């Protein structure tokens, strides 16, 4: 993707920055009641409520997302939910959180499997993302991939496995158009070993690079395009179990110094 009129747009100065917006919200008294060092973006919006007996949380305001403070971390970790989906919103929130002092961000979502050996509920820790969305190209020069933070990826793998679950590491395909995932693209990415498709990872990794924030993402297999047709699971039990494992593992990691 390129911008023919402004091929160097990623190097141009913006008229509005996240720093200015955060300062404006602070003047209006509309900031969340927490300034977390670590943040979990949770696409499964009901998960903090379901997990509240094991990991108590309390509402801490909103910022185009519902913000929950994880009680045991005394404000060090927050969980964001109910922000919809897609890279643009995740990037907007991530930029603002970086201004607020957040240093580590993990995204957890469910996604489509591209490989035949990835089953519903399987956990994929993403170490890089294909930039097939639009937002990252406003921030970085053209490139096929954007990388996650390697040390955060390794921490996720170790912590998930310590909790008794299996996981793999690999590339995810981030797209803005879930209803335009074509046979030709899936076949190509399948041959390249790409594991999943989702809508947020490339955006988060991009903000991580631009704002010097450690970022990583985890995709739990949900539906599948591996047979070059859409297939859905009969039950969600394994998916829900994996979501709970990843949620707890991510919060543990974010709470570390």
What are the DSSP E strand ranges found in 49-89? 57-62, 66-70, 77-81
Residue 12 within a domain: no
Number of domains in the chain: 1
Q: Looking at the predicted structure, is the pLDDT value of residue 5 above 80?
A: no
Contacts of 89 (CB under 8 A, 6+ apart): 64, 65, 83
State the CATH number of the domain containing residue 214.
3.40.50.1580
The residue with tokens 């469910």 is 110
Residue 1 within a domain: no
Q: What is the pLDDT of residue 33?
A: 94
How confident is the model over 58-76, as pLDDT tens digits?
999 999 999 999 999 999 9
Q: What is the pLDDT of residue 125?
A: 98
Residue 214 backbone phi and psi in degrees, to 5 = -75, 125
- Closest residue by Cα to residue 44 from 228, 244, 184, 231: 244
Residue 148 backbone phi and psi in degrees, to 5 = -80, 175
Residue 153 within a domain: yes
Q: What is the pLDDT of residue 120?
A: 97
Q: Residue 4's pLDDT band (boundaries 50, 70, 90)? A: low
- Which structural domain range is residue 64 located in? 17-255
**Dihedral, 38, 11, 134, 152 alpha carbons, nearest 10:** -30
Decide the pairing of beta strands 104-113 and 214-224.
parallel
Residue 7 within a domain: no
**Average pLDDT of the segment spanning 1-15:** 79
Q: What is the pLDDT of residue 1?
A: 59
- Closest residue by Cα to residue 217 from 131, 105, 84: 105
How confident is the model over 10-51, as pLDDT tens digits?
889 999 999 999 999 999 999 999 999 999 999 999 999 999
Residue 181 within a domain: yes
How confident is the model over 181-233, as pLDDT tens digits?
999 999 999 999 999 999 999 999 999 999 999 999 999 999 999 999 999 99
Residue 8 within a domain: no
Residue 5 within a domain: no
Q: Residue 2's pLDDT band (boundaries 50, 70, 90)? A: low
Q: Residue 7's pLDDT band (boundaries 50, 70, 90)? A: confident
Residue 3 within a domain: no
Residue 232 backbone phi and psi in degrees, to 5 = -120, 150
How confident is the model over 134-172, as pLDDT tens digits?
999 999 999 999 999 999 999 999 999 999 999 999 999
Q: Cα separation of 206 and 192, whole Å?
A: 22
């Amino acid at each position: 993707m390129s911008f023919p009129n402004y091929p160097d747009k990623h190097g141009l100065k913006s008229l509005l920055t996240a720093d200015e917006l955060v300062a404006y919200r602070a003047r209006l008294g509309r900031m969340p009641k927490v300034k977390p060092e670590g943040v979990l973006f949770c696409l499964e919006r009901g998960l903090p409520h379901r997990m509240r007996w094991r990991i108590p949380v309390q509402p801490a305001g909103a910022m185009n997302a519902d913000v929950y403070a994880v009680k045991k971390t005394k404000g060090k970790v927050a969980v964001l939910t109910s922000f919809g989906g897609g890279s643009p919103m995740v990037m907007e929130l991530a930029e603002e959180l970086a201004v607020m002092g957040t240093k580590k961000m993990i995204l957890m979502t469910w996604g489509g499997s591209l490989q035949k050996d990835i089953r519903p509920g399987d956990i994929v820790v993403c170490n890089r993302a294909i930039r097939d969305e639009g937002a990252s190209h406003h921030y970085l020069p053209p490139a096929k991939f954007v990388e996650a933070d390697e040390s955060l990826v390794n921490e996720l793998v170790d912590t998930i496995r310590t909790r008794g679950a299996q996981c793999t590491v690999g590339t995810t395909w981030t797209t803005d158009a879930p209803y335009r995932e074509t046979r030709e693209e899936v076949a190509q990415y399948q041959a390249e070993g790409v594991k999943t498709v989702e809508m947020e990872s490339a955006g988060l990794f991009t903000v991580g690079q631009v704002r010097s924030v450690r970022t990583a993402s985890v995709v739990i297999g949900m539906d599948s395009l591996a047979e070059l047709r859409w297939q859905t699971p009969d039950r969600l039990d394994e998916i829900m179990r994996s979501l709970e494992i990843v949620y707890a593992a991510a919060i543990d990691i974010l709470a570390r110094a």
